[in-house]
Chains A and B, each alone.
Chain A
Amino acid sequence: MTIHKGRGFACINYPIGMNLGGDPSQALVHSTPDGKFKVALSAIDLGQGMKSVTRQLAAETLGVPVEDVYVDTADSDTGPHDMGSFASRGTHRVGNAVIQASREARGLLLEAAAEELEVNASDLETDGKGNINVKGAPSRSIAVAETAIAAQFKQGRTISGRGIFLIPTSDVDPETGEMTPVSCFAHAAVVVDLQVDDETGEVEVLEINSAYEVGRALNPKMVEQQLIGGAWMGVSHALYETTEPYYPNRDHGPTDFNQYLMPGPGEVVNHNIAVLERPAEDAPYGGKGPGEMCANPLLPGVANAVYNAVGVRVDALPITPEKILRGIQAIGGARPQGMR
């Protein structure tokens, strides 16, 4: 029995969102009479933090404290249309819609404030703390809450905004076959270190090092968290998880959770992440969002590391001990890459 160490590298060019039907997301923003803002979305937060990020984007654009914004994703029946939370599209598509809606609402907020202060709306600025000031004359000021009350009960107008983000249609050039299906790419590179036992075929991941380029990290702590968790999900797909272990033969598939293999807390390894920020032009404040990309490169990374360790190229996931042992048998013994 010999333990072979291996290192695998993989990188990814990840298209944010999809192009189907323009991939639209809508957002509606309105103020309540007490000067808080509601953002209505039909995209759902599955735990990746979309509610927090869209809340930040709305607060930043409106110029109000983040505490004064509530994001409502409760009902896709009554909310504005959205394609959904998938394809890593939340931050980019929904975020852009939220910014557009918040800009319109901000314009109406400043108009209402201008009427109260008897100044021109273009002379007003928000302080981000719940006040609207006359530029250069901060003593001439009105609270956002007062403005909302005036708009509701005196001026008879709403402070609200509509937003939609739609990808322009990209046709295929009949001459060259070229098209531009995606406007925003994120990137990553990962290095996976692992070891393979050539007697049992077992793989133990030792360490992960990675660099992820996600545009501006709108919520850095949440980005880091999603990268750590998502990368581990990638390792899990590479080595453990399947509903059809002998695909296309459906025998031996798990029938319930008891037979579905997933790594537990004992398998977790150290993962060093470098987050790189290269803001995209059409991204909300430059943020592309990590999304699925945190998991994807780990799969080829693990496959390459196994090849590096024992010379077996497994081309069907997951990379199980059985596949590795059959591979070792086929090549007449483990052949670490440096020794061929």
Chain B
Amino acid sequence: MAKTPVQFTLNGTHRAHFVDGGANLLDVLRREVGDLSPKYGCGQGTCGTCTVLINGEPHLSCLTLAESVEGKSLETTSGMANGPDLHPLQRIFMESFAAQCGYCTPGMLMAAKALLAGNPNPTREEVIEGISGNICRCTGYEPIIDAILQAAVELRSGRVA
């Protein structure tokens, strides 16, 4: 089958790849690009662990056609840290025990990042809504919700980058 050239930016870096027609974005990111941070969970848009940001909006990469990101800006969790400095969300997730097995964490971080970008001062209910597309099996969600609320406070106070 003929391959289609696709160009996009991934975490600020320009990328160009030839993708199979109908290939989904998650496969391309993991297998072609080599960015393993978005995880394969259910493969049918139910669990949210493959969430990536496309032009700042959260999308399920397992249901996104790779060809459709032509010219767009993609973000994944592998681009969140600034060198050795974790993004505040990552650091507070770690400090607040918001990850156990860690499999849902990349999707949770992406959903949280998108939420806080659009709504820097969310209520608890808005945080719950923001991560409602993401399933966590271990934590019971409480620590994740608390961590996002705490990160929102830190990000608003401007103490961190």
Contact = CB atoms under 8 A, between A and B. Distances in A.
A256 B140 CA distance: 22
Contact of B44 (A226, A256, A271): A256
A233 B144 contact: no
Contact of B135 (A48, A230, A264, A271): A264
Interface residues of B, number: 26
B101 interface: yes
B119 interface: no
B143 to A, nearest CB: 6
Interface residues of A, number: 24
Contacts of A231: 140
Nearest to B140: A232
Q: Which of B46, B128, B138 has the most CB of A within 10 A?
A: B138
Given A47-B138, A228-B140, A232-B140, A268 B145 contact: yes
Contacts of B145: 265, 268
B42 A228 contact: no
Nearest to A227: B140
Given A256-B42, A258-B44, A265-B131, A222 B140 contact: no
Contacts of A256: 42, 44
Contacts of B97: 221-222, 224-225
A35 B137 CA distance: 38
Given A222-B97, A229-B100, A268-B145, A262 B135 contact: yes
Q: Which of B100, B128, B129 has the most CB of A within 10 A?
A: B100
Given A257-B46, A268-B142, A226 B100 contact: yes
A264 B132 contact: yes
A200 B97 CA distance: 37
Contacts of A262: 135, 137
Nearest to A234: B140
B141 A268 contact: yes
B101 A258 contact: no
Contacts of B99: 47
A177 interface: no
A225 B131 CA distance: 19
Interface in B1-52: 41-42, 44, 46-47
Interface in A204-231: 221-222, 224-226, 228-231
Contact of B46 (A48, A225, A232, A258): A258
A46 interface: yes
Contacts of A229: 100, 138-140, 143
B71 interface: no
A225 B140 CA distance: 9
Interface of A: 46-49, 221-222, 224-226, 228-233, 256-258, 262, 264-266, 268, 271
6 smallest beta-carbon distances between A and B, as pairs: A47-B101, A232-B140, A257-B42, A47-B100, A229-B140, A225-B97
11 contacts: A49-B100, A225-B97, A225-B139, A228-B140, A257-B44, A264-B141, A265-B132, A265-B134, A268-B141, A268-B145, A271-B142
